[in-house]
A and B are shown apart, each in its own frame.
Chain A
């Protein structure tokens, strides 16, 4: 269907779906959100504060700055004006998130620089290097959080107006980061304490699944529009990506694989497959939440003389 015909059809619909974030060029935003979560999560779990994987730091930086930044630009209607996005930090969560990305880009680069350029006057372990590490960790944490607030501040779509969304995205960012570490290990990279990574991964998957379940359960009783969104997710047009992407690839396979890893050492290919499945789930959780967004219906319920009649 022609997008403009679809638009004309949508404007008259009682339950109007949002299509701008998730369809056509809007799909780039889902990729951007996905990569920013994966990148920030990978950075956080790869720092010396957690698993200390240098390759993970590089991968996290590239995913966050390169892939996520590129996808953000591809999404914008006017990408050359991207610098304007940080103008309205006072009230816009998108501005606040982009500011976080900007701070991360600078601090992360300055922290990584000694790894590649021998001539720089500081090392990763110096005071300056450690300061950059702290700033980059704080900004990466911010990046994992802000998406939930971006969705939450969109007053038009009740399904997104939930304080549970930030924890959902934080949880998914961490499990994405661990999935990247597993991928690095599967590809032959050095990841010290792989068993600990696998165990942590299992717990993050289980906790993320619990948060998602809680979110869906809460939203089904949060008004007609949110209820309709949950229906779309469980039985409607988003059900296939939800069940195959979020539930099967994102929860069941990683939980089964992670449980198995408790008892026996898995071959590298299996570890890699679990990581890929988990990442697919990480993509589809953002996709499903975005696509299930439905605007509150515009009805005659508010009008006294019409309210005696039940809206169809």
Chain B
């Protein structure tokens, strides 16, 4: 079993629904974006395209963040999900230097969205999962996956641009799409073997 994701860039409309769904699901503090969409302009005038590139933790098969973590707080689960044990993290941020995808965030001190009013009840509940002084990251919504649900970014994508499944199952939709449409990984030259594949726009 190796969970992975396929993102169809032809279908992605760059609406940021994944980014917002992730924030709502995980109650991440300001500036922390487990799932994010970056816009890139490619080409030169008059052949120019503006494209959206959805990013999240790549849950690499060979995760450099896990290797460099001095406390073994970063770990890879048997199902391929890369996660952090916040109780072991010392906040050295070495994993952030090792991750080529910018998918890790350091939460130094408590932040909230509304100045002056303190934490909202939603933040108060959600932030219990985010202790300060440690690094946090996407875990493919492991709490949802364990309930046989899809990650929030997948379930809420209105264009159905994200597909989640088992990369080791050749019959799964993700495996089929990767083979049929030549799925591509980001920064393959970094040798991390990401579990997130992109289908060409």
Contact = CB atoms under 8 A, between A and B. Distances in A.
Contact of A155 (B30, B105, B190): B190
Interface stretch (A1-9, A35-43, A100-108, A130-138): A1-9
A126 interface: no
B88 A156 contact: no
Interface string B114-132: 0000000000000000001
B163 to A, nearest CB: 17
B190 A8 contact: no
B68 A154 contact: yes
A267 interface: no
Interface in B124-162: 132-135
A20 B96 contact: yes
B33 A8 contact: yes
Contact of A306 (B32, B39, B49): B49
B20 interface: no
Interface in A274-312: 293, 295-296, 298-300, 302-306, 309-312
A77 B89 contact: yes
Contact of B72 (A77, A88, A155, A310): A88
Contacts of A306: 42, 49, 51, 200-201
Interface in B86-125: 88-94, 96-102, 105-106, 108, 111
A95 interface: yes
Contacts, number: 178
Contacts of B43: 309-310, 312
Interface stretch (A78-86, A181-189, A193-201, A241-249): A78-86
B181 to A, nearest CB: 10
B4 interface: no
Given A84-B70, A302-B188, 11 more contacts: A8-B30, A11-B55, A12-B38, A78-B133, A81-B71, A150-B94, A154-B68, A154-B94, A156-B99, A156-B190, A299-B40
Interface of B: 9, 29-33, 36, 38-44, 47-49, 51, 53, 55, 64, 67-73, 88-94, 96-102, 105-106, 108, 111, 132-135, 182, 184-188, 190-192, 198, 200-201
Interface of A: 3-8, 10-12, 14, 16, 18, 20-21, 24-26, 75-79, 81-82, 84-88, 91-95, 98, 150, 153-157, 160, 293, 295-296, 298-300, 302-306, 309-312
24 contacts: A4-B31, A11-B33, A11-B38, A11-B102, A18-B97, A24-B108, A26-B93, A76-B91, A77-B90, A77-B93, A91-B67, A91-B68, A92-B68, A94-B92, A153-B98, A160-B97, A293-B97, A300-B201, A303-B198, A304-B200, A306-B200, A306-B201, A309-B47, A312-B43
